[in-house]
Amino acid sequence: MALLYIAASLLAISSKSFVVAEPSSTYTCNTFTIPLKNISAPSFELTFEIKTQWDITDWTINEARRDSATAFNGIAGPSTVTGDFDISARFCSPLNLKRTNLSQTVLVLTHGLGADKSYWDPTFTGGEEYSFVQAAVTAGYSVFHYDRIGTGLSTKADPHRVVQFPIQVEILAALTRLLLAPSSPYTSDVSLKSAVHFGHSYGSYITAALASAYPDLTQGISLSGYSGIFDFFNILIAGWQSRVAALLDSSRWGHLQSGYVTPVDLYADEYLEFKSPYFDHSVAEWASSVKSPYAVGELATLGQTPYDTTNFTKPVQVFQGRYDLSACGGNCDGVLNRTALLWPKATPLDISGYFPAGHSVNLHHNASVAFAAMLGFVTDNIHA
Ligand SMILES: *[C@@H]1O[C@H](CO)[C@@H](O)[C@H](O)[C@H]1NC(C)=O
Ligand SMILES: *[C@@H]1O[C@H](CO)[C@@H](O)[C@H](O)[C@H]1NC(C)=O
Ligand SMILES: *[C@@H]1O[C@H](CO)[C@@H](O)[C@H](O)[C@H]1NC(C)=O
Ligand SMILES: *[C@@H]1O[C@H](CO)[C@@H](O)[C@H](O)[C@H]1NC(C)=O
Ligand SMILES: *[C@@H]1O[C@H](CO)[C@@H](O)[C@H](O)[C@H]1NC(C)=O
């Protein structure tokens, strides 16, 4: 704990951070802007720059071609990046804290590409049944979810040179240290004892990397939209048909630099995220209406930094939609046994691949069944 505190105190906390409280009958949430200072990470020089729709289309060909693994990686060489970032985040905890000590464990949620923190707590009318946040606070846990840089209300840094994989890992580590620091200003006076990390999709890779690089910061992890296997990314990239967001819809995204790109339309979003007949079209329409373009530097650098997952000894859950496109090529049967090889020392290792859903598990029918499995894993295996 002393080490955690020293690390956290290196991060200056500026006075302009603000708080918005939301009332609710059974739990309370505060929204923060967290100013992170002087975060640094390894980074990469890229061989390409996306300025036009021609550029992103050629990038799609390069990433999707059958020999992309050897013919194109888009990396010119190693570099480093240091920056200050404002992170939009939300902390929720049950109102009746004394009833249970579970609230001393915070579930830290990291969303995937194309989304923001609302993935974990959908904002549309009737969205409660799809809200992992509500399920978790109802079960007694505290929850922290945030917009990764480049998305939502967080800093829209340079999408080629800054918004890359390793800096996202360092930001998650910095946020976790802040949450676990004594008298943290971001936990609404709840004194936290431990953190468990949840990831979806790209956020699962970040979570896996955090667990590998900083195992002391987490008591366990739960991953969805994840297999750890990159073999099927060509299918994703090809079908996504990404476009420069600012040129695709200037009224919505005109403020973003050209390296922020997004699937061409609602149906391209659906292609990755959903599988019929296990979802409502209105939910997919909502997800598309709140989507955040992704930074091209994020996809280009995923998998370029080796994070060794094989020494992680704490609990690991992989909870997969059976028909996940990017993680399993549309069918997880016979794929997830390879995932198990990535986590040989995880205790326990709980891999499930039969939930009837596509990639965005939380937004499919019967999400409450998935939430019960995810939260049950924490309750059964992690004790603050
Ligand atoms: C920023 O962090 C680096 C280490 O990562 C440190 O050497 C440097 O002194 C820090 N700068 C400031 C202004 O705190
Ligand atoms: C809850 O936590 C407090 C303070 O850490 C401790 O004194 C108490 O025994 C715990 N209660 C239960 C039921 O574990
Ligand atoms: C993993 O553990 C093995 C055996 O203890 C050790 O040799 C190796 O360096 C470790 N890897 C990492 C990345 O720490
Ligand atoms: C995974 O299961 C499939 C289908 O049962 C099998 O063909 C494959 O060899 C297995 N792979 C590993 C690494 O066990
Ligand atoms: C939800 O799961 C139940 C079984 O637990 C199943 O009978 C039902 O068809 C599922 N509903 C949907 C909409 O998938």
Rounded to 5 degrees, what angle do the CA atoms 12, 164, 250 make?
100
- For the segment 365-369, the average pLDDT, to the nearest whole number, is 98
pLDDT > 80? residue 20:
no
Q: Give the closest ligand to the alpha carbon of residue 306.
A: 3
Cis status of the peptide bond prior to 78, with omega within 30 of 0: no
Distance from the alpha carbon of residue 334 to the mean position of ligand 4, in angstroms: 6
- Among protein residues, the one whose CA lies closest to atom 14 of ligand 3: 311
Distance from the alpha carbon of residue 101 to the mean position of ligand 3, in angstroms: 34
Could you tell me the domains of the chain? 2-49+69-232+296-381 (3.40.50.1820)
Looking from the CA of residue 12, the nearest atom of ligand 1 is 14
Task: Kindly state the percentage of the chain with pLDDT values over 70.
Answer: 92
- pLDDT (0 to 100) of residue 26: 85
pLDDT > 90? residue 108:
yes
pLDDT digits (tens, 9 = 90+) for 176-218: 999 999 999 999 989 999 999 999 999 999 999 999 999 999 9
Q: Give the closest ligand to the alpha carbon of residue 83.
A: 1
pLDDT > 60? residue 166:
yes
Distance from the alpha carbon of residue 134 to the mean position of ligand 3, in angstroms: 38
- For the segment 152-170, the average pLDDT, to the nearest whole number, is 98
pLDDT digits (tens, 9 = 90+) for 302-316: 989 889 999 999 999
Phi/psi class of residue 121: alpha, beta or left (left: φ > 0; alpha: ψ in -120 to 50)?
A: beta
CB atoms within 10 A of CB 317: 24
Chain mean position to CA 375: 17
Distance from the alpha carbon of residue 373 to the mean position of ligand 4, in angstroms: 25
* pLDDT band per the 50, 70, 90 thresholds, residue 271: very high
Ligand 3 touching residue 313 (CB < 6 A): no
Phi, psi of 381 (to 5 degrees): -120, -15
Instruction: Tokens for 45, please give them.
Output: 């020089």
At 50, is the secondary structure helix, strand, or coil? coil
Strands of 67-178 (E only): list them. Answer: 75-94, 105-110, 142-146
- Among protein residues, the one whose CA lies closest to atom 2 of ligand 3: 311
Instruction: Tokens for 99, please give them.
Output: 């009833």
Q: Which of 328, 337, 349 has most ligand 4 atoms within 8 Å of its beta carbon, as the pocket-test mutant?
A: 337
Per the DSSP assignment, residues forming a β-bridge with 88 are 33
Looking from the CA of residue 212, the nearest atom of ligand 3 is 13
Looking from the CA of residue 310, the nearest atom of ligand 3 is 1
Name every protein residue with a CB atom under 6 angstroms from any ligand 4 atom.
334, 337-338
Percent helix, strand and coil across the chain, each to the nearest 5: 40, 25, 40
- Among protein residues, the one whose CA lies closest to atom 11 of ligand 1: 38
- Among protein residues, the one whose CA lies closest to atom 8 of ligand 5: 366
